[in-house]
């Protein structure tokens, strides 16, 4: 049904509207390149599914575990839980994440511009070379995350916890005020850091 084109998606929408509380198990399903825009996948188990290069824009997703999302389009989708997923080169622009749980998921080179991800709880996620321009991630935690090469321009990181993160020496958190209360905060320009004194 999910590979049945527009007609198949209409049948899916009708059935999910009528039986939204009935769980469906699509674990291990091969949905690579499928056109699944603007559908409800709540209470649909997709553990281990292949969704590479699929179009999930505007869709509502349930917990994703060991799902391959490489190259997939999830723009404006709702995603609240990813564990052990691969989302390399995926498009998560304007995705609604908050509140979300992200565990050991790889977002290498993914597009996460303007994601709404406040209060996200992340653990050992990889954001290498990802674009998080304008991302709203206030009061989120990212212990053990890898942000090497990531773009954080105009990202809102107020009260975020970046304990144990990997940032290359040439990279830093965005300038204030967007990260004014982020942990690992840099000293303000022209002001001494902790343990330093002004030159007289």
Q: Is residue 17, in this structure, part of any structural domain at all? A: no
DSSP letter assigned to residue 5: H
Q: What is the CATH number of the domain that holds 30?
A: 2.160.20
**pLDDT reported for residue 15:** 64
> How many whole angstroms from its chain centre is CA 76?
11
> How many whole angstroms from its chain centre is CA 37?
18
**pLDDT reported for residue 5:** 62
What does the pLDDT average to over 117-146?
96
**pLDDT reported for residue 174:** 56
Residue where the block lists tokens 């343990």 = 195
Greater pLDDT, 14 or 104? 104
Pairing of the two strands 44-45 and 64-65: unpaired
Residue where the block lists tokens 């998921």 = 105
The answer, yes or no, to whether residue 198 has pLDDT greater than 50, is no
**pLDDT reported for residue 24:** 86
Q: Which helix (H) or strand (E) holds 83?
A: strand 81-83
What does the pLDDT average to over 105-112?
98
CA distance 104 to 106: 7
Q: Are 78 and 98 in contact (CB under 8 A)?
A: no
Greater pLDDT, 98 or 177? 98
For 41-75, what is each residue's pLDDT tens digit?
888 999 999 999 999 999 999 999 999 999 999 99
Exposure string for 112-147, b = 16+ CB within 10 A, e = fewer: bbbbbbbebebeebbbbbbbbbbbbbbebbbeebbb
Predicted TM-score (pTM) above 0.85: no
Confidence of residue 4 (pLDDT cuts 50, 70, 90): low
Q: Which helix (H) or strand (E) holds 10?
A: helix 5-18
- Domain count of the fold of the chain: 1
For 24-40, what is each residue's pLDDT tens digit?
899 999 999 999 998 88
Q: Is residue 14, in this structure, part of any structural domain at all? A: no
CA distance 21 to 7: 22
Mean pLDDT of the chain: 83
The answer, yes or no, to whether residue 195 has pLDDT greater than 50, is no
Q: Is residue 178, in this structure, part of any structural domain at all? A: yes
**pLDDT reported for residue 1:** 55
Residue where the block lists tokens 């469906």 = 24
The dihedral over CA atoms of 131, 133, 136, 138, expressed in degrees to the nearest 10, equals 80
Q: Is residue 19, in this structure, part of any structural domain at all? A: no
What does the pLDDT average to over 165-189?
52
CA distance 160 to 196: 24
Structural domain boundaries enclosing 124: 24-184
Percent of the chain past pLDDT 70, that is, above it, reads: 72
Least confident of 19-33, 86-100, 136-150, 176-190: 176-190
Closest CA relative to residue 190, chosen from 181, 199, 180: 199
Greater pLDDT, 15 or 179? 15
Q: Tell which phi-psi region holds residue 88, choosing left (phi > 0), alpha (psi between -120 and 50) or beta.
A: beta
């Amino acid at each position: 049904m999910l590979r049945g084109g527009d007609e198949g998606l209409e049948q899916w929408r009708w059935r999910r509207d009528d039986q939204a509380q009935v769980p469906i198990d699509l674990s291990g399903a091969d949905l690579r390149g499928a056109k699944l825009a603007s559908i409800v996948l709540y209470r649909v188990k997709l553990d281990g599914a292949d969704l590479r290069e699929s179009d999930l824009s505007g869709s509502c997703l349930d917990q994703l575990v060991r799902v391959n999302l490489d190259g997939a389009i999830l723009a404006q989708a709702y995603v609240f839980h990813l564990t052990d997923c691969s989302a390399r080169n995926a498009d998560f622009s304007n995705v609604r994440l908050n509140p979300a749980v992200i565990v050991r998921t790889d977002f290498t080179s993914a597009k996460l511009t303007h994601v709404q991800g406040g209060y996200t709880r992340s653990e050992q996620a990889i954001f290498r070379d990802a674009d998080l321009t304008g991302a709203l991630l206030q009061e989120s935690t990212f212990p053990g995350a890898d942000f090497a090469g990531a773009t954080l321009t105009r990202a809102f990181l107020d009260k975020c916890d970046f304990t144990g993160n990997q940032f290359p020496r040439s990279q830093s958190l965005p300038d204030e005020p967007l990260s004014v209360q982020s942990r690992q905060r840099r000293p303000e320009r022209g002001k001494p850091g902790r343990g330093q004194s002004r030159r007289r």
